[in-house]
Structure 1
Amino acid sequence: MRFDCSAVARPLGHAGGGSQGGLPTVSKNAIHSQSEKSSSVRILLADTDRRAYAPRLAMGFAALGCEVSIVCTDHHPVENIRAPYHSFSYSALRPLASLLRAIESTAPDLIIPCDDRVVQHLHQLCWEFRTHGGQQQGVASLIERSLGPASSYPIVSARYPLLQLAKAEGIRVPSTCLLQTPEDLSQWQTKQPLPWVLKADRTWGGSGVRVVEAPQDAETMFHILKSPCGLTRALKRALVNRDSFYLRDWWQACSRAVIAQAFIPGRPANCAVACWEGEVLAQMGVEVLATSEPTGPANVVRRVDNAEMVRAAERIASKLHLSGFFGLDFMIETGSGQTYLVEMNPRCTPLCHIQLGGGPDMIAALHARLAGRPFAAMPATAARSEHEMIAYFPQAWNSNSEFLKLSLQDFPLGEPELAQALLRPFPQGTLLYRIVDYLSRIPAATVVDEFGGEGGIRTPSAR
């Protein structure tokens, strides 16, 4: 059940007292004290990518009695859930102002970013308000309360600093090099035998990952990953995928940081974590059984008890004093069984809403801490559910995975309209999308995809 708040929210630029740094300022009482607020916990979800995370988290928090709000793009799958929530528009032209309006109107206890763009926008908003001071300190404090201190932002938002910190904390990581020039790549080649993995910052869902098996391909892949978003790609994403945020990326023309990692032969794994002020409240670790593509997101996973994954999550959360949700990706090496941390997702992941019988419940753990109630934290290696495998919805359904019938099916029970929306996500039903999809299937035709590649068009993925 959706309550559209656009009619009651203040116009941008008129939230009180003029503006600083191109942003509307916050009225004096925008961030209310606990005594001024209702007894229920207020949650603000933020999403630009139309993935399943936001509606599933909204359902989970609403079931616990929370007041749920979301700032998101149009045609978002959350529009199809029955749980009550308040909705705000997320503008690609003025993303920081969109976030600010939602924060001011809802005065949340916790802001939950559902994709990497939102994390970046929240970091920028916090920096703006810490820089200009004044009334905006309340918003900056709320963002830091929700994510962690501003000092953690340059680390969680970039692959290389995160892996350097992890290494210093005694966490096993692959050999890694920050590539700034082709000369850096040449030096790396003399030290590290093939294959390698090249990864670009500010990418997700496996789109910015390339496995290099031949030296002649390395420099080409490096330049593709490092290059700013091109106009062709931005227009294609805006017109076909209805994602106008890529036009902003093209206009800003920011190159990406790229790292090279030693290739670890083995099985991918990951964990999802709910934490508060550096303390891990609940977490779940899984091993990936099936993916949609070699470097893409998981379709089916199996729960595992891995002490190295648990320790890595606890050390990173503590060192950076993190709050909210985050995820860590690992590789479990074939033969040795050693676990390598390969990257971090500083926002919610597909596991965050899942609660296995007798296992950790990340939503309930965060809710209890916010409500000031006791919560019996379940150790990460505690009671096991009868379901060891989890088939993510809708990824496993779309791929017809062989593990589907053997797994806990992550179906949104009681939400048939949401299920339908996730199985056929917007904009797949639009005429332009269908035309481009048809042309991409013709051998003589190609469609420019992310990072200048060729092939079909991407649909929202979950990772």
Structure 2
Amino acid sequence: MTAWVAAGDAQAAAAIGVRLERLRAGLTDEKLFVVPGMAGDPGELSTLAAAFTGPQEAYAVAPALADPRYRTVWTMESVAEHMVTAIRQVQPSGPYRLGGYSFGGVLALEMAQQLRAAGEVVQPLFLIEAIYDERYWPRGIWLRALVRRTGRQVLRIARLHPREAISELRVRGGRLIQRVVRRNTEAPDPLQLTALNDGTFRDCAAAALAGYRPRFYDGQITLIASSVDRHFGCDTAQLWAGYARHLDVQAVTGDHVTVMQESTSTAAIAGVIDHRLAMTRENWTGVRPVPGFARPMVLTTMRWFSVARLAHALLEAGFSVSTCRPNGHALELLDGLTVDCRLSRLRQVRSLATAIRRAGPDIILPGDERSLVLLRRLHARVRDADPQLAEVIAHSLGNVGDWSSIGSRTALANEARTLNIPVPATEVVDGVGSLDDWVARHDLPTVLKTDGSWGGRGVTIVREASRTRTAWLTLSKPPTLLRALKRLLVSREAGWLEAWLQHPRSVVNAQQFVEGREAIVTAACVDGETYALVCLEVCEKSYAGGPATVVRVIENPAMAEAARLLVRRFGLSGFCGFDFIISGTGEAHLLELNPRLTPTAHLLVEGDHERSRTIALFPAEVGTFPPGVLDVPVRAASLIKRGERITARRQRGIARIARRLRRKLTA
């Protein structure tokens, strides 16, 4: 439908109308109003509307040209006022859901300001590649953009015929001077106001935009920015930094123009909008910020992709996320981090303390076992000197007095047994003789596991008595110098060299072997209270004993209750994972606890997992799984590219051979 909505006085009514067109029918009374770009054509939003999958009804709302005698009333404020009046006829009260592309994004922002000033709720607000006039850009951004655009024009002109080049230089030189002159004046822009006489929508819109300086928005803005700059010479995210109480930045593939023209880009934009709208609904099941878990710092010593995936999900969910990481981590690709700190290879504890003091998180999320060790070391150092920092660490890692039990497989099994949680018999074996005694009591096969190991490392299944001595010696001894140097130079992991220098022997545990299906529970918790969890059955693993690559969502009340009991017992906070084995009788036996981030933690934050849904964790070989199974981070183009690079490396010949050898060695 098309509706002309007049404002209060006759002159304004004659000058400005509003086009209101329904782009998409909805399944509920939830309405989304989107403002098109500089052309004012609602048709440019049709591809976006067609890509929506949520239940919302979508409208295009745009100003329309009217009597030329009154075009001087075209200001962003007056146009927004009429458009607010128009959408109120369709939706009398909030919450209002607004968005806009380019010029329309700036106009949607002014509409949101006016609605909030009138006491209405606006949630959410989407700005798609919104660009305000360059006169009001921060000086540094404006200068860099000027240099970039000038450089591009010089390179283009250099390829022209000399006569054409001279003519083009005059034109571009004149425009460059005009840009510099208009930058330093607050008066109405004469270069744009003259466009009012030309009569096109684009000219009138440009003139209105030239006189508009955005104001601080005391709410949340979701900025959808292009990944390629071909037009303005600036980073859209930097342009809007500081203009909102919370700025949520999402990058999509394409430039300022193609993001609304190419189907893959519009699908990505639609995915962002669908997801943000879903988060505002009462039936949303994803993790939300809560006291004590609103400003997380993600700490990692490894370069695991899943950590970046979780951080992106937390940013989407409205958390204020900071990081402390090694160089080259996929976390560097994320926009919107409050603080992004580097973790020194050789001075890890000191650099971690500096990062925490700088970021001021309310919780620290360790991404791997070495991160746990670092936090415990730092706590011991600052317990008396900096009680506030020590308190944050203690809150992040659970009850301080239970840290030794959390880190010991045998102590964990004993605690689980006191809570009536089924657990295989587990015992520390401090020598070959102790292992022989264990085998005599429990028979073979048996599982040997070291404390503090991960990803299948430090775990072996002994099936023959002749291998018990070799297995124990292999697991208990520290890494060799050659292996430590390889990890340092190739994998850039300094922890192995530290382990070689300290020369400690690993604590080896013997665990009774239980035949069955592997399963995991991923939980989110604060101070011992679980407020989200998911039970998953492991369908495929990267290698025997390694991390899961394909999982299936299941319902298992016994596993869920066991996880809740242990979270409460140890006072855990953040994310944690529990490994189980489901025997042939259906009983779930607890194997271990991972009090850190796990590869499936992002599922709790994104909140879109479904019962019996099979999920292949990205990155994986795309052709291996049917559509809809591979868990691609569709709202994070940069992470998709990094994941594809990881997958490509895995498919190389040497990598494939190495994986086959590792499978044989761990079989």
TM-score of the two chains, using structure 1 as the length reference: 0.75
Question: 1:188-207 counterparts in 2 under 5 A?
Answer: 188-207=438-457
Cα distance, 1:301 vs. partner?
A: 0.7
Unaligned 5+ residue runs, structure 2? 1-234, 239-291
Evaluate the alpha carbon distance shift between residue 456 and residue 440 of structure 1 in structure 2; reply closer, same or farther with a 3 A threshold: farther
Evaluate the alpha carbon distance shift between residue 145 and residue 440 of structure 1 in structure 2; reply closer, same or farther with a 3 A threshold: closer
Matched residue SS, 2:580? strand
More contact order relative to length (CA 8 Å, sep ≥ 6): 1
Match of 2:621 among 385, 397, 400: 397
Cα distance, 1:161 vs. partner?
A: 1.0
Evaluate the alpha carbon distance shift between residue 439 and residue 86 of structure 1 in structure 2; reply closer, same or farther with a 3 A threshold: closer
Aligned to 1:385: 610
Cα distance, 1:212 vs. partner?
A: 0.8
1:151 equivalent to 2:151? Answer no
Normalized per residue, the structure richer in helix is 2
Cα distance, 1:201 vs. partner?
A: 1.4
Distance 1:308 1:40 in 2: 26
1:419 equivalent to 2:644? Answer no
Contact in 2 for aligned 1:273/1:282 (Cα 8 Å): yes
1:279 equivalent to 2:535? Answer no
Task: Supply the AA of the counterpart residue of 1:413.
Answer: V
Matched residue SS, 1:274? strand
Task: Supply the AA of the counterpart residue of 2:447.
Answer: V
Distance 1:40 1:166 in 2: 26
Distance 1:278 1:250 in 2: 36
Matched residue SS, 1:138? helix
Distance 1:285 1:139 in 2: 34
Matched residue SS, 1:353? helix
1:307 equivalent to 2:557? Answer yes
Task: Supply the AA of the counterpart residue of 1:417.
Answer: S
Aligned to 1:244: 494
Contact in 2 for aligned 1:276/1:322 (Cα 8 Å): yes
Deviation sequence 1:123-146 (CA, Å, 0-9, x none): 11112222xx13x11111011112
Cα distance, 1:49 vs. partner?
A: 1.0
Task: Supply the AA of the counterpart residue of 2:442.
Answer: Q
Evaluate the alpha carbon distance shift between residue 104 and residue 301 of structure 1 in structure 2; reply closer, same or farther with a 3 A threshold: same
Aligned to 1:66: 319
Aligned to 1:6: none
Aligned to 2:582: 332
1:127 equivalent to 2:380? Answer yes
Evaluate the alpha carbon distance shift between residue 211 and residue 235 of structure 1 in structure 2; reply closer, same or farther with a 3 A threshold: same
Aligned to 1:27: none
Name the stretch that deviates more: 98-107 or 408-417.
Answer: 408-417
Task: Supply the AA of the counterpart residue of 1:416.
Answer: A
Contact in 1 for aligned 2:475/2:506 (Cα 8 Å): yes
Distance 2:647 2:493 in 1: 11
Match of 2:597 among 348, 358, 372: 348
Cα distance, 1:289 vs. partner?
A: 0.7
Evaluate the alpha carbon distance shift between residue 286 and residue 439 of structure 1 in structure 2; reply closer, same or farther with a 3 A threshold: closer
Contact in 1 for aligned 2:524/2:574 (Cα 8 Å): yes
Contact in 2 for aligned 1:228/1:250 (Cα 8 Å): yes
Task: Supply the AA of the counterpart residue of 2:329.
Answer: H
Cα distance, 1:407 vs. partner?
A: 5.2
Contact in 2 for aligned 1:71/1:88 (Cα 8 Å): yes
Cα distance, 1:307 vs. partner?
A: 1.6
Deviation sequence 1:168-194 (CA, Å, 0-9, x none): 111101122211111110101111121
Distance 2:588 2:434 in 1: 27
Distance 2:452 2:463 in 1: 24
Distance 1:300 1:321 in 2: 30
Distance 1:142 1:92 in 2: 23
Aligned to 1:461: none
Cα distance, 1:41 vs. partner?
A: 3.7
Task: Supply the AA of the counterpart residue of 1:78.
Answer: L
Aligned to 1:93: 346
Deviation sequence 1:394-443 (CA, Å, 0-9, x none): 1x427x64xx21654321113232122233349959xxxx9xx74995xx
Distance 1:426 1:304 in 2: 28
Aligned to 2:221: none
Aligned to 2:462: 212
Evaluate the alpha carbon distance shift between residue 270 and residue 154 of structure 1 in structure 2; reply closer, same or farther with a 3 A threshold: same
Contact in 2 for aligned 1:391/1:410 (Cα 8 Å): yes
Cα distance, 1:216 vs. partner?
A: 0.8
Unaligned 5+ residue runs, structure 1? 4-38, 355-360, 365-382, 442-446, 458-463
Matched residue SS, 2:449? strand
Contact in 2 for aligned 1:82/1:415 (Cα 8 Å): no
Evaluate the alpha carbon distance shift between residue 254 and residue 98 of structure 1 in structure 2; reply closer, same or farther with a 3 A threshold: same
Cα distance, 1:198 vs. partner?
A: 0.8
Contact in 2 for aligned 1:195/1:213 (Cα 8 Å): yes
Cα distance, 1:42 vs. partner?
A: 2.2
Contact in 1 for aligned 2:314/2:605 (Cα 8 Å): no
Distance 1:202 1:147 in 2: 15
Deviation sequence 1:232-291 (CA, Å, 0-9, x none): 110111122222221112112121111111111110000011111111111101111111
Evaluate the alpha carbon distance shift between residue 282 and residue 362 of structure 1 in structure 2; reply closer, same or farther with a 3 A threshold: farther
Aligned residues: 374
Distance 1:321 1:185 in 2: 33
Task: Supply the AA of the counterpart residue of 2:626.
Answer: K
Name the stretch that deviates more: 203-212 or 73-82.
Answer: 73-82
Identity rate, percent? 32
Bigger Cα Rg? 2
CA RMSD of aligned residues (A): 2.8
1:107 equivalent to 2:356? Answer no
Cα distance, 1:83 vs. partner?
A: 4.2
Aligned to 2:203: none
Evaluate the alpha carbon distance shift between residue 387 and residue 173 of structure 1 in structure 2; reply closer, same or farther with a 3 A threshold: closer
Evaluate the alpha carbon distance shift between residue 363 and residue 326 of structure 1 in structure 2; reply closer, same or farther with a 3 A threshold: farther
1:260 equivalent to 2:516? Answer no
1:57 equivalent to 2:310? Answer yes
Distance 1:258 1:201 in 2: 7
Contact in 2 for aligned 1:391/1:407 (Cα 8 Å): no
Deviation sequence 1:87-121 (CA, Å, 0-9, x none): 21112211111210110101111111111110111
Distance 1:40 1:217 in 2: 47
Contact in 1 for aligned 2:621/2:647 (Cα 8 Å): no
Aligned to 1:380: none
Matched residue SS, 2:544? coil
